[in-house]
Amino acid sequence: MARETRLIKNKVVQVILILSSIAVVGGATGSAKLAEELLTVQDGYYTDSLNEVALSAGSDTLECPSSNVISTKYKCNVKGEWVDCTRQNCCNDYIFIAGRCVHKDQDPCSMSLCEQKCTVYLQRIICSCFDGYKFNANNQKQRITPACEDINECLDGNGDCEQDCINELGTYRCACKEGFRLRADNRTCETTNPSPEGLEQPVHRDKCYASCETVVRLHDKLKTLQEKLSALSTAIRLSSFASGPPGPAGPPGAPGPIGP
């Protein structure tokens, strides 16, 4: 029981030391005189004294309020090996975002860190792109432009255009070949030459198109011709049945009158 109590006390001391180190670094208000040697704890973590704390701006003292990033060196146990680690903190009223300390009243998106769209979520800057663009995360990380790359919509089903598809930055448009113009749907094309009544000019040489009214009219004409052909065939068959073989010779007729 005494051993368990001693272990609990040691853990409490370890937690207090860890929290104390974070409080000193995160809310430093003055010089290194505030620092006292922090003892090494036994759970794989310790923080050195503040004289080993460096500012990204290169100052030898901790001055708050400041936008300097406070980097705390410490040892951490990774897979059984002790390695050097660094924790980054900010002064009070500052938040650590995008690798820098920003005052809590400043809009992080005002720092032009994103190429197009910028939002902040849980102290993280989220960069995104407008419609017609896709986000390249690798370019963004390496500060290579453009981070937002244009999408070529014409590569996907010709952009749903009937004839020509023209890609543009962030968008695309449909166009028609010579002799055609774009319809109101901005997708399909119609001929610019006058067409015969009820007919449309074929868009392709191997295809023709007709209106529904024209198709009905042609269907009725074809039906009438079929009926006439059927009637004519029937008449021909009946006439062939009516004609038989020649009959026997009839008796001679009466003699004609005597001439003068």
Q: What is the pLDDT of residues 35-91, one digit of tens each?
A: 222 223 333 333 332 233 333 334 445 677 777 788 788 888 888 888 888 888 888
Give 185-229 pLDDT, tens digit per residue. Answer: 999 999 987 655 555 555 554 445 566 777 777 888 888 888 878
Amino acid found at 79: K
Whose CA is closest to 202, among 181, 210, 194? Answer: 210
Q: What is the mean pLDDT of residues 141-160?
A: 89
Domain 154-209 fold is Laminin (2.10.25)
On average, the pLDDT of the chain sits at 70
Q: Binning pLDDT at 50, 70 and 90, where does residue 140 land?
A: confident
DSSP summary character for residue 205: T
Token pair for 133: 């663009």
Task: List helix spans (H) across the chain.
Answer: 2-26, 137-141, 212-242
Predicted structure pTM score: 0.42
Please say whether the beta carbons of 224 and 218 come within 8 A: no
Q: Does the structure show a pLDDT above 80 at 231? A: no
Q: Does the structure show a pLDDT above 50 at 252? A: yes
Please say whether the beta carbons of 24 and 35 come within 8 A: yes
Please say whether the beta carbons of 120 and 109 come within 8 A: yes
Q: The tokens 């809310």 sit on which residue?
A: 27
